Chain A
Amino acid sequence: MNILSKLYYRYKKILKILRLYLIIAGPGIIVMVADNDAGGITTYTATGAQYGFHLIWFLILLGPVAYYVQEMTVRLGAVTKRGHAEAIFHAFGSFWGWFSLLDLVLTDWLTMITEFIGMTAAMRIFGVPPLVTVIGAWIIMSAMVLQGRYWTWEKLALVFCGLNLIYVPAAFLINPPIHEVLRGALIPHFPPGGFTNALFFLLMANIGTTIAPWMIFFQQSAVVDKGLQEKDMRWGKIDTALGSMLTVLVAAFCVILTGTLLPGQPINDAATAALKFMSINKHLGACLAIGLFDAGFLGAICISLASSWAFGEVFGWAHSLNHRLKEAPWFYAYYILVLLFAGIVVLIPGAPLVLITLFVQVIAVTLLPAALVFLILLLNDEETMGEYKNTLVQNVANIGITAMIIVVSTLYGISALFPNILK
């Protein structure tokens, strides 16, 4: 009886903890899963097709990198109750504030176009014309925010996050060679052929897709909008850690899929991979296409929100998802119009979509170092952060990660501008 009552007590305790977590969970998982956007899925499928399972260990290493950066936004948001754009204006003045805001707006808009490219390419596989995809996605994206409750938006976004995990069951459909997969995941090594320029470019692309400027702005604003307090910080960190595990899981399973079925084949985008999968296994191709659409959709809603929150904070508009349309008209108008204009660009015949994709990489490089440096400086400000400022260990890890990301993303941006530089 005593054992039974103890077990029941433990069960109730675990249930209580789980309930508490489910209330607080959201921003961390959403931002991390949305990080696997259309561009990210393309990078992972290309990685698997080009190098098989040899780089899964590298993707696993990127999980903690993403966690360490994003965890800082949880602390900053919970302590200051300010979004990242407002925090930059407040701490560094209007010059750096405008630089960050305008750069973010441009980067986000260009990235949103790439998300729509991914979505239309995915739905074209099912025979859906791009016009229908753009209008349909835009209506759903708008409806998601216009219902007037942050909680509802977040839970809907979490459903789309769940759909992003479609690559996991899809991989089990094809019976991948488990031994080789485990070797690729657990033993760090370079693929046969050694460290080449092509490999370096792909590694840079994988790092570039792990941390993006919009993620920093999004999570901090989401933490503020959700109303996370200092006492909730522990749960916010767990949420971020779980999210970083999910992002690695999706990335690894994308690699497993293409590494098993399309080894050595040149893959330029995930839609091509989905089409090739269709000819092998219809369900598998459909899974990849659904995953690609979902990735673009999640990326677009989060990126658009990151910009809308940033503008709302700086311009003093009402900018919470808890507001109704008439209470925050500018905030919602910005969100909806930015998505609409991004979608329209994809529909323009002969639009320079390749050039836009290239520009995203280059423009992001101008903003990412600034966003990361500001984040570290803000987290070291004792007056603002008090007991929650970075510890020595956190500083060593974060400064190391930031330096690495700055070097790599700069090289990535330069190699995008000058493709022959690495040949």
Chain B
Amino acid sequence: MIVTFFRTTVQTVQAINRKYATPHLKTTRFVRVCLGLLRGYLVLLIGILVFKFFQSLH
């Protein structure tokens, strides 16, 4: 039963990934810059969280 549940979930997630594989928003320069900045911001934030995690360990 558990295996069936996970198999169904994986299949559903794969179906969602296929459905939304192509972004529908027109990729203008403004959109590219915004998404790039967002990626940078999130990488920075995750970096801070990782730093805090290791700092807490010591």
Instruction: List A residues at the B interface (Cβ < 8 Å).
Output: 89-94, 96-97, 314-315, 362, 365-366, 369-370, 373, 376-378, 380-381, 383-384, 406, 410, 413-414, 417-418
Contact = CB atoms under 8 A, between A and B. Distances in A.
B26 A383 contact: yes
A315 B45 CA distance: 29
A15 to B, nearest CB: 44
A417 B53 CA distance: 10
A21 B2 CA distance: 49
Contact of B48 (A90, A315, A414): A414
A89 B46 CA distance: 22
Interface residues on B, range: 20 to 34
A381 B25 contact: yes
A157 B2 CA distance: 37
Contacts of B49: 362, 417
Lowest 4 A-B CB distances belong to which pairs? Answer: A93-B23, A91-B25, A89-B20, A94-B20
Given A90-B24, A373-B34, 11 more contacts: A89-B16, A89-B20, A91-B25, A92-B35, A93-B23, A94-B21, A362-B49, A369-B41, A370-B38, A370-B42, A384-B25
Contacts, number: 58
B48 A93 contact: no
A54 B35 CA distance: 39
A94 B48 contact: no
A94 B17 contact: yes
A366 B42 contact: yes
Contacts of B21: 93-94
Interface in B9-58: 12, 16-17, 19-26, 30-31, 34-35, 37-38, 41-42, 45-46, 48-49, 52
A383 B23 CA distance: 13
A9 to B, nearest CB: 48
Nearest to B41: A369
A417 B16 contact: no
B51 to A, nearest CB: 9
30 contacts: A89-B19, A89-B20, A91-B23, A91-B24, A91-B25, A92-B25, A92-B35, A93-B20, A94-B20, A94-B21, A96-B35, A97-B20, A314-B16, A315-B12, A315-B16, A362-B49, A365-B45, A369-B38, A369-B41, A373-B38, A376-B34, A377-B30, A377-B31, A381-B25, A381-B26, A410-B41, A410-B45, A414-B48, A417-B52, A418-B52
Contacts of B35: 92, 96, 373
Contact of B23 (A92, A365, A410): A92
A417 B16 CA distance: 35
Contacts of A91: 23-25
B45 to A, nearest CB: 6
A378 B25 CA distance: 8
A23 to B, nearest CB: 33
A406 B1 CA distance: 44
Contacts of A362: 49
Contacts of B16: 89, 94, 97, 314-315
A126 to B, nearest CB: 38
A353 B49 CA distance: 19
Nearest to A413: B45
A123 B46 CA distance: 38
A377 B20 contact: no
Contacts of B52: 417-418
Contacts of B24: 90-91
Contacts of A370: 38, 42
B34 A366 contact: no
A98 B38 CA distance: 15
Nearest to B34: A373
Contacts of B19: 89
Contacts of B48: 414, 417
A366 B20 contact: no
Contacts of A380: 30
A90 B19 CA distance: 9
Nearest to B46: A366
A408 B19 CA distance: 36
Nearest to B44: A410
